[in-house]
Chains A and B, each alone.
Chain A
Amino acid sequence: MAETDYRKITLDGLWNNNPATVQILGLCPLLAVTGTVVNALGLGLATLVVLMGSNGAVSLIRAYVTDAVRLPAFVMIIAALVTVIEMLMRAFTFELYEILGIFIPLIVTNCTVLGRADAFASKNPVLPSLLDGFMMGAGFLVILVILGGMRELIGQGTLFDNMQLLLGPVASDWRLEVFSDYPGFLFAVLPPGAFIGLGLIIAGKNVIDRRLKAARKAKQADQPTTSRRVRTTGKVS
């Protein structure tokens, strides 16, 4: 394989091929648990760790697994990792574990994890695979946290409520009461709020992309064009 482009892997994970806003994968946890920032952050971090671990492990065994059995093998690896994460969360962040409930075991079925294992890790060396897992996980995490923040702010009028469930007593007074005496906007907390919120985030990303493209085009147009002729036929001897 040619030289690995680490910059491209990073940009792909965070922006150009973001699992949540471009690939639209892993919608089930994305929409279900983003009611508050702490839920989003907890699940996002768990997914990130699973993604890195599975990408690393799949990359290590990529030479030994035949095509026919690769998917079962990958799923076994992912399931083992998710079980580990689930046990860790039960041990250290029990209340958050209770809140997230079924969505922690369901990380196994998150298409992003299996998708990256099959599309990237099974064809690339360990280091780029780990980076890809980290960046894809980070891209997913960022969208989760933004959506969680939006829904918590609109739905309850607070930010960073209950952060101590994840980060320990340090974070117990992080709760921001943004609007005082807020009546609560149930719609944002319910599933339709998640769909509309994600739609707005995707629309926002597309607007930024279009602006960037227009700016790049304008920049190219400014440069003096030397010769626009392109050879279309074969070599002239």
Chain B
Amino acid sequence: MSLINAPSPHTSRHTDTGAVMRQVVYATLPGLAVLVWQFGLGSLLNVLWAVLVALTCEALFLRARGKPVAFYLKDWSAVVTAVLLGLALPSTAPWWLTLIGVGFAIVVAKQLYGGLGMNPFNPAMIGYVLLLISFPVAMTQWVAPGDAPAPADSLALFLGQTPADAFTGATPLDTFRTWAGDAEALAGRDILAGRLAGPGWEAVNLAFLLGGLYLLARRIITWQIPVAFLAGLALPALIAHQVDAARFAGPLFHLFSGGAMLGAFFIATDPVSAATSRLGRFIYALLIGLLIWVIRTFGGYPDAVAFAVLLLNLAAPFIDYYTQPRAYGHRKANKGANP
């Protein structure tokens, strides 16, 4: 899946994997800052702890597999996996939740498949889905935006204690799922609060959009995946919203809530588990976006980035098979031959 099958000319840029991965980590910083601002210090603790766990697991398993530990740790891929998973977890997550998720992501989803470049699935999303189906309560508790717990409370939550005050509230996606179809109830709850997608969440998504645009500008990622991802999510939302506005949320709400921007720019663009050709990437991401809309609207879970990405990871080799670009001059020669 890591074969180069883009059409020529092939020019290479002399940057190593570590440099690319570091850029991805830098690009998540605005998103992390907004998460901390809106939901408390817990997100930062999650990310730092996740990085520590990921590096430890990676080092232990590289050693067990007889690979050079320092060489592979320097590619920063474990850090990226850990940061992405840490950002996706609720800020109230206790330490053991992160430990299990990151440990599983690195050990089972990455190292057991053969390390970086060999994993068919996005490791961070495997960890996320494992946690989501094992601990649904802990994984869907989000702090009400703007009501961020104090640093001491964040620390207590991280250590697994429950502080006196309860902070959690339903996310806009949750609320919409619960009350979809009931125009009065929705109006009463005022989930949008006159904004794009409710306070807090739209700021987080805008921050990830900013980070994503930085990655595009640095040419770490190409435009096909984010654009197709967001189009796949927004188009069905737009059509359905025109048909029945009370039952189906509008495109802007979908684009700026939950993990949409994080998914579009940081998770679906993982070069290892995504499709590789340009057309393939477009189709791959379009289907991810569509699937997210379908699961958000008709499925049992409020958000669906992880499920959609994993399902399309599974389909990526198949998409690649049918979207192989022709080498120059081969179109005529292959006419009549086996397709």
Interfacial residues, chain A to chain B (CB-CB below 8 A): 183, 185-187, 190, 196
A204 to B89, CA, bound (A): 32
Q: Please state if B134 and A196 are interface contacts (CB–CB under 8 Å).
A: no
Contact B135 A183, beta carbon cutoff 8 Å: yes
Provide the B99-141 mask, 1 if CB < 8 A to any CB of A, else 0. 0100000001000000000000000000000100111100000
Q: Choose one: B100, B108, B133, B135; the contact of A196 (CB below 8 Å).
A: B108
Roughly how many angstroms separate A196 CA and B104 CA in the complex, as a whole number?
11
Does the CB pair A186–B108 fall under 8 Å? no
Cα-based distance from A186 to B133 in the complex (angstroms)? 7
Name 10 extra pairs, CB < 8 A, besides A183-B135, A187-B134. Answer: A185-B100, A185-B134, A186-B133, A186-B134, A186-B135, A186-B136, A187-B130, A187-B133, A190-B133, A196-B108
Q: Which residues from chain B contact A186 at a C-beta distance below 8 Å? A: 133-136
The answer for the CA separation of A196 and B134 in the assembled complex, in Å, is 15
* 12 CB-based A-B contacts, threshold 8 Å: A183-B135, A185-B100, A185-B134, A186-B133, A186-B134, A186-B135, A186-B136, A187-B130, A187-B133, A187-B134, A190-B133, A196-B108
Q: Which residues between 316 and 337 of chain B lie within 8 Å of chain A, taking CB atoms?
A: none
Query: Chain A residues near B136 (CB, 8 Å)?
Result: 186
Q: Which residues of A contact B130 (CB under 8 A)?
A: 187
Q: Name the CB-closest residue of A to B104.
A: A187
Instruction: Identify the closest chain B residue to A187 (Cβ).
Output: B134
- Bound-state Cα–Cα, A190 to B100, Å: 17
- B205 CB to nearest A CB, Å: 29
* Cα of A186 to Cα of B135 in the assembled complex, Å: 7
Which 8 pairs of residues, A with B, have the shortest CB-CB distance?
A187-B134, A186-B134, A185-B134, A187-B130, A187-B133, A186-B133, A190-B133, A196-B108
Closest to B100 in A: A185
Q: How far apart are B96's CB and chain A's nearest CB, in angstroms? A: 9
Chain A residues with CB below 8 A from B100, complex form: 185
In Å, the complex CA distance between A187 and B134 comes to 5
Closest CB in chain A relative to B47 CB, distance in Å = 23
- Looking at chain B's contact residues, is the secondary structure mostly helix, strand, loop, or mixed? helix
Which residue of chain B lies nearest to A183 when distances are taken between CB atoms in the complex? B135
Instruction: Count chain B residues whose beta carbon lies closer than 8 angstroms to a beta carbon of A.
Output: 7
A-B pairs with CB below 8 Å: how many? 12
Q: How far, in angstroms, from A114 to B133 measured CA to CA in the complex? A: 37
Please report the C-alpha to C-alpha distance between residue A187 and residue B135 in the assembled complex, in whole angstroms. 9
The docked-state distance in angstroms from the alpha carbon of A20 to that of B136 is: 32
Measured between alpha carbons, how far is A33 from B129 in the docked complex, in Å?
23
Report the minimum CB–CB distance from B132 to chain A (whole Å).
10
* Complex contacts, A190 vs chain B, CB 8 Å: 133
Most chain B CB within a 10 A radius of its CB, from A183, A190, A196: A183
Contacts of A187 in B (CB 8 A): 130, 133-134
Q: What is the chain A residue whose CB lies nearest that of B96?
A: A183
**Residue of chain B at shortest CB distance from A189:** B134
Q: Which residues of B contact A196 (CB under 8 A)?
A: 108
A183 to B108, CA, bound (A): 22
Task: Tell me, rounded to whole Å, the shortest Cβ–Cβ distance linking B237 to chain A.
Answer: 31
Give the distance in Å from the alpha carbon of A212 to the alpha carbon of B133 in the complex: 39
Chain B hits for A183, CB < 8 A: 135
CA distance A185 to B134 in the complex (A): 5
| Chain A residues whose CB sits within 8 angstroms of the CB of B133 once the complex forms | 186-187, 190
B133 vs chain A, min Cβ distance (A): 6
Shortest CB distance B92–A (Å): 15
For B135, the chain A residues whose CB sits under 8 A away are: 183, 186
Specify the chain B residue showing the minimal Cβ separation from A203: B112
Q: How far is the CB of A120 from chain B (nearest CB, A)?
A: 35
| CB of B109 to closest CB in A, whole Å | 11
B9 nearest CB across to chain A (Å)? 43
Chain B nearest CB from A233 CB (Å) reads 44
Q: How far is the CA of A176 from the CA of B199 in the complex (A)?
A: 48
Task: Output the least CB separation between A194 and chain B (Å).
Answer: 14
Residue from B133, B134, B136 with most neighbouring chain A CB atoms (10 Å): B134
Cα(A186)–Cα(B138), bound, Å: 13
For B108, the chain A residues whose CB sits under 8 A away are 196
Whose C-beta in chain B lies nearest to the C-beta of A193? B134
CB distance from B127 to the nearest CB of A (A): 11
Q: How many angstroms between the C-alpha atoms of A185 and B133 in the bound complex?
A: 9
Minimal Cβ-Cβ distance residue in A for B138: A183
- Least CB distance, B314 to chain A, in whole angstroms: 14
CA distance in complex: A195, B136 (Å): 21
Complex formed: what's the CA distance from A187 to B126 in Å? Answer: 12
Q: Which residues of A contact B134 (CB under 8 A)?
A: 185-187
- Separation in Å of the B103 CB from the closest CB of chain A? 13
The docked-state distance in angstroms from the alpha carbon of A196 to that of B100 is 15
**Chain A's nearest CB lies how many Å from the CB of B278?**
33
* A61–B320 CA distance with the chains assembled, in angstroms: 54
Closest partner residue, chain B, to A188 (CB atom): B134
Docked Cα-Cα span, A185 to B108, in Å, equals: 16
B137 closest partner in A (C-beta): A183
CB distance from A201 to the nearest CB of B (A): 14
CA distance A210 to B135 in the complex (A): 37
| Interfacial residues of chain B within 264-307, with CB under 8 A of chain A in the complex | none
How distant is A206 from chain B, measured CB to nearest CB, in Å? 13
